[in-house]
C-alpha cells in the first residue's frame, strides 16, 4: 500500500521530469533556475492550497457569511489573481530570482552545505527541526508585521498596497489580490529572513503554504473567531476584517489596526490590536483607489503602478503618513482631504 509521502514523491518526480525540466530546457533556463523537483513541489503545493481554499474556505463563506452579497462580481477578479499568483507568478519569481540569489549568498542549501544562516552557525537547530521552525516563523511573522505597517505608512508603498485594500467584497480569494511590484518587494524582504536562517527551497515552500492558508482564511467572508484567548495569539477572520474596514469619519484612526499575518501577538504587544467591533464594510474611502473595483486584471496592475510612479517621484511620496491620491496621482495627506470626499464610497463606479 502506497503511503502519502511516497505518492507525493511520485507526483513530484512525474511533474518535474515530464513538465518542469522540459519547459526550463525549452526556455534555456535550466542553469539559471533551481532544481526542477523543487519547482514541481512548489507547483503541487500551490495546487493543494487552491484546493483547500475552494473546498473548505469557500463553502464556509456560504454557511456563515460576515456579509451577505447579492452577487460576488467584485470578488471574481481575486480568484483569477489567486491562481495566477500561486501557480505562475510566485513560483517563477521565487525560483528564477530569489532562489538563485539565496544560493549566491550561500544560504540556499540546507544542512552541512549551507555557508551562512542561523542553522549553520548553530548546528543544534539542524537536529531540532521543530525549534528551528518556531524560531524561523517567529522571525518571519515579526518581519511581516513591521513590513505591513510600513506598507501603510510610506505613501509610495501604500500606492501599490492600496490595491489589496480596495476590494469591497473581501473573500477567501482576496489574499493574493496585490500589485506584482508590491509582491516582489515583499518577497525580497521575507526571503531575506529565510536566507538568514538557512531555510532550503522545499522547506520555504511548505512554510509559505502554512502562512498563506492562514491568510486565505483570515480574509474569508465568514463570521468566525477563535475565542477570547486564542484571538490574542492568532489572526482570525474577525480580527483581520477590521484591518480592511473603510475609514470611519467619526473615528478616523480606527482602521489603522490588526497588521499581523499569522500571529496577533505583535498587534497586542505594539498596541495596534482592535477587538470587539461589529462587522464593518471593507474597502477604501479614497475615490482614486476605490475605482480599482471597476478595472480588469491588467488595468488593475497598471493603475497600481501609476499610483506608485505618482508617489515615488514626488517628495510627498516619501513623507510618512496616511495619504489619499489626487487626479494626477499626487499623494495628499488625509488631514488635507475633505471628509465628504472620503465618505464617497457607496456608489459602484462600474
Cβ-Cβ contacts under 8 Å for 230 (sequence gap 6 or more): 236
pLDDT surpasses 50 at 110: no
What's the pLDDT at 204?
66
CB atoms within 10 A of CB 6: 10
Q: For the ranges 70-79, 318-327, 338-347, which has the lowest average pLDDT?
A: 338-347
Note if the pTM is more than 0.95.
no
- Structural domain spans, the chain: 4-342
C-alpha cell at 73: 462580481
C-alpha cell at 39: 519547482
pLDDT surpasses 50 at 266: yes
Which tops the pLDDT comparison, 188 or 92? Answer: 188
Integer Rg of the chain from CA: 21
Helix (H, G, I), strand (E, B) or coil at 331: strand
Which tops the pLDDT comparison, 343 or 317? Answer: 317
pLDDT surpasses 60 at 107: no
- Is residue 226 within 8 Å of residue 236, measured between CB atoms? yes
Render pLDDT for 278-317 as a digit per residue (tens, 0 to 9): 999 999 999 999 999 999 999 999 999 999 999 999 999 9
pLDDT surpasses 70 at 256: yes
Model confidence at 95, in pLDDT bands (50, 70, 90)? low
Alpha carbons 332 and 338: distance in angstroms, whole number:
11
Which tops the pLDDT comparison, 31 or 57? Answer: 57
Mean residue pLDDT across the chain: 84
Which percentage of the chain shows pLDDT scores above 90?
Answer: 50
Render pLDDT for 39-81 as a digit per residue (tens, 0 to 9): 788 788 888 889 999 999 999 999 999 999 988 899 999 999 8
* Rounded mean pLDDT, 201-213: 72
What's the pLDDT at 318?
97
What's the pLDDT at 234?
94
What's the pLDDT at 193?
80
Alpha carbons 125 and 120: distance in angstroms, whole number:
8
pLDDT surpasses 60 at 349: no
Model confidence at 336, in pLDDT bands (50, 70, 90)? low
Alpha carbons 40 and 50: distance in angstroms, whole number:
15
Render pLDDT for 145-183 as a digit per residue (tens, 0 to 9): 999 999 999 999 999 999 999 999 999 999 999 999 998
Q: β-strand 323-325 against 331-333: which pairing, if any?
A: antiparallel
pLDDT surpasses 60 at 274: yes
- Interior angle at CA 319, CA 257 and CA 235, nearest 5: 15
Which tops the pLDDT comparison, 89 or 262? Answer: 262
Q: Of 20-24, 52-56, 187-191, which has the strongest mean pLDDT?
A: 52-56
Where are the alpha helices (H) located in the chain, listed in sequence order?
Answer: 4-15, 21-26, 36-52, 58-63, 73-84, 90-93, 99-105, 118-121, 129-153, 155-165, 180-197, 201-218, 227-230, 237-243, 265-269, 287-290, 297-312, 339-342
Amino acid at each position: 500500500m502506497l503511503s502519502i509521502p511516497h505518492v507525493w514523491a511520485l507526483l513530484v518526480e512525474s511533474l518535474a521530469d515530464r513538465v518542469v525540466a522540459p519547459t526550463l530546457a525549452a526556455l534555456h533556463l535550466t542553469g539559471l533556475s533551481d532544481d526542477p523537483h523543487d519547482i514541481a513541489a512548489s507547483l503541487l503545493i500551490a495546487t493543494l492550497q487552491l484546493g483547500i481554499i475552494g473546498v473548505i474556505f469557500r463553502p464556509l463563506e456560504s454557511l456563515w457569511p460576515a456579509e451577505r452579497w447579492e452577487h460576488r462580481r467584485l470578488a471574481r477578479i481575486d480568484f483569477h489573481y489567486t491562481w495566477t499568483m500561486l501557480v505562475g507568478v510566485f513560483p517563477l519569481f521565487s525560483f528564477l530570482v530569489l532562489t538563485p540569489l539565496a544560493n549566491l549568498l550561500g544560504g540556499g542549501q540546507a544542512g552541512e552545505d549551507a555557508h551562512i544562516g542561523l542553522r549553520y552557525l548553530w548546528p543544534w537547530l539542524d537536529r531540532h527541526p521543530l525549534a528551528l521552525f518556531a524560531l524561523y516563523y517567529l522571525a518571519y511573522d515579526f518581519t511581516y508585521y513591521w513590513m505591513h505597517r510600513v506598507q501603510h505608512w510610506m505613501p509610495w508603498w501604500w500606492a501599490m498596497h492600496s490595491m489589496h485594500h480596495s476590494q469591497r467584497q473581501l473573500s477567501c480569494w482576496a489574499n493574493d489580490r496585490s500589485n506584482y511590484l508590491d509582491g516582489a518587494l515583499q518577497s525580497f524582504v521575507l526571503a531575506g529572513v529565510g536566507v538568514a536562517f538557512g531555510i532550503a527551497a522545499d522547506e520555504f515552500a511548505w512554510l509559505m503554504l502554512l502562512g498563506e492558508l492562514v491568510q486565505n482564511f483570515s480574509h474569508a467572508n465568514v463570521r468566525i473567531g477563535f475565542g477570547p484567548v486564542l484571538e490574542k495569539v492568532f489572526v482570525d477572520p474577525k480580527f483581520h476584517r477590521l484591518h480592511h474596514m473603510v475609514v470611519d469619519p467619526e473615528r478616523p484612526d480606527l482602521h489603522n489596526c490588526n497588521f499581523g499575518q499569522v500571529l496577533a501577538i505583535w498587534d497586542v504587544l505594539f498596541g495596534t490590536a482592535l477587538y470587539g467591533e461589529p462587522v464593518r464594510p471593507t474597502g477604501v474611502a479614497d475615490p482614486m483607489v476605490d475605482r480599482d473595483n471597476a478595472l480588469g486584471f491588467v488595468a488593475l496592475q497598471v493603475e497600481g503602478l501609476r499610483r506608485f510612479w505618482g508617489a515615488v517621484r514626488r517628495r510627498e511620496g516619501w513623507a510618512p503618513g496616511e495619504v489619499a491620491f489626487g487626479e494626477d496621482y499626487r499623494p495628499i495627506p488625509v488631514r488635507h482631504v475633505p471628509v465628504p470626499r472620503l465618505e464617497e464610497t457607496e456608489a459602484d463606479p462600474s
